[in-house]
Structure 1
Amino acid sequence: MTLNHRYPIISEINVGEIVAIGPQRAPTGIFKRATAGPWHVASDGLLGDHQGDRKNHGGPEKAIHQYPADSYAVWRSEYPSLIPILEQGAAFGENLCLPLMTEETVCVGDIYRIGEVVLQISQGRQPCWKLNLKFDRPDMAWLVQKTGRTGWYYRVLKSGRIEPGSTVDLVERPHPDWTIARLNAVIASRSLAHDELSEMAALSVLAESWRNLARRRLESRQVESWSKRLGQNSES
């Protein structure tokens, strides 16, 4: 499906340095800050943005993370204790944060033109225990997964420059039935949705790691443990 839909312009771009977090001093790039830009986007993401764990963060299929601006108000309403962290901005370690774009309104495979750059949504986000440390709440990663307010990742189809003021244009939507919200619901379910997992495994635009996850569930007929990823104090 070829489209031409324009979203609000980018107001800020967030990047982060590697810092140590928690009692184990784990390296992380989750503490990002708004910058004036411009920034160059390469195949691995924004030059100057850093990830502490390259095995689970960053790389071509997780080049840029976007989080819905609309979700901040929901978090504030549901969990007022989180407000001090939320007000710092880029609370979820996102690079981009825009209104109107949510897990319910974007789809895997969507192609967007932002400034000189062309991005494609590659997958949702499986939250990890570092969110628990960032928010000083032992079940934060689990809450992000439970609510489906995860944001999503892009791969880079065309490198170039972006900066605050760049327009965001949706140019193609090949899989309108596969919203990020739907993907999240399948991934976060303890039941095996055989038909949907089979569809996911066959989605060529979906990141290979998510397709492999769907295949493993189909082959093993069980859902993997989440306790290590979400943190020992989170529900699994």
Structure 2
Amino acid sequence: MTPGATVIDALLVGQVALLPDGRSSSGIHKLPTDHALWLSATGLQGDAQADLRIHGGVEKAVHHYPREHYAGWASWSRRADLLASPGAFGENVSSRGWDESNVCIGDVVRLGEALVQVSQGRQPCWKLDLRFGERGMAREMQARGRTGWYYRTLEPGWVRAGAQAVRVDRPHPDWPLSRLVALLFTRDAHAAPEWARAAELPALAERWRQTFRKRAASGRVEDWEPRLRLPPNGA
């Protein structure tokens, strides 16, 4: 295999559907496909998100999740059925060998025939709790830092399972996703100098840069509860 590469073990897409509570909609239900799919600036052909204010868009065109994380989740979750195959976390790309420790913000990747760039990590929300039927799933993902990452599309192209994902550029080698995710999910005000540094990363999604700028200026962390707390009558 090409150095700095991995294989796309599964390519997954899905439409918006109801979650098990029967009230909340989500695009988290992804299924694998053997077909080549066109990746545009806003995502893969045949894929959809329920709330475009929060999910999808040019900075979150594709979500990539490491298959190795599944073993750790199997020891925490009762949902062996969901964890038996890729797609449990709503990812579009599943692979082995890359994770948050060896993928850096701004990495430019040839994903099949498309060219993409790592733009940010994931901020898990309460819909994961509903997906798994287990309270605290989103909080646990945040605590573990096993969020996967998103790509923005630099050059549209065809992507399919079995193709390689090859890193072709690394503008920020000192900024693995693990460092950024840990910074995002800390409440320690002593991290303010690091927040300020992260806010200056040109490859980082603007929403994350804005969050870090606000924290560095105020010394305070925003309220996470609306993102993590299950609504009334949840799982």
TM-based fold match above 0.5: yes
Q: Which moved more, 1:20-29 or 1:185-194?
A: 20-29
The aligned counterpart of 1:69 is: 67
The question of 1:202 aligning with 2:227 is answered: no
The aligned counterpart of 1:15 is: 13
Write out aligned runs for 1:33-182 (5 A): 33-76=31-74, 78-182=75-179
Which runs of 5 or more structure 2 residues have no equivalent in the other structure?
none
The aligned counterpart of 2:229 is: 231
The aligned counterpart of 1:29 is: 27
Deviation for aligned residue 1:5: 2.8
> Secondary structure of 1:66's partner?
strand
Distance 2:44 2:230 in 1: 32
> Secondary structure of 2:207's partner?
helix
The question of 1:190 aligning with 2:198 is answered: no
Per-residue CA distance 1:92-142 (angstroms, 9 max, x = gap): 100001001000010000001122100100000000010000011110000
Contact 1:75 1:82 in 2 (8 A): no
Distance 1:120 1:149 in 2: 19
Distance 2:95 2:194 in 1: 29
Taking structure 1 as the reference length, the TM-score comes to 0.93
Contact 1:118 1:159 in 2 (8 A): yes
Distance 2:113 2:139 in 1: 36
Distance 2:7 2:147 in 1: 21
Report % sequence identity: 41
Distance 1:23 1:6 in 2: 42
Taking structure 2 as the reference length, the TM-score comes to 0.93
Deviation for aligned residue 1:23: 3.9
Deviation for aligned residue 1:232: 4.5
Per-residue CA distance 1:5-38 (angstroms, 9 max, x = gap): 3423212210011012254712210010001111
Distance 2:20 2:220 in 1: 32
Per-residue CA distance 1:68-106 (angstroms, 9 max, x = gap): 111011212x31513222114311100001001000010
Which runs of 5 or more structure 1 residues have no equivalent in the other structure?
none
The question of 1:5 aligning with 2:40 is answered: no
4+ long deviations beyond 6 Å? none
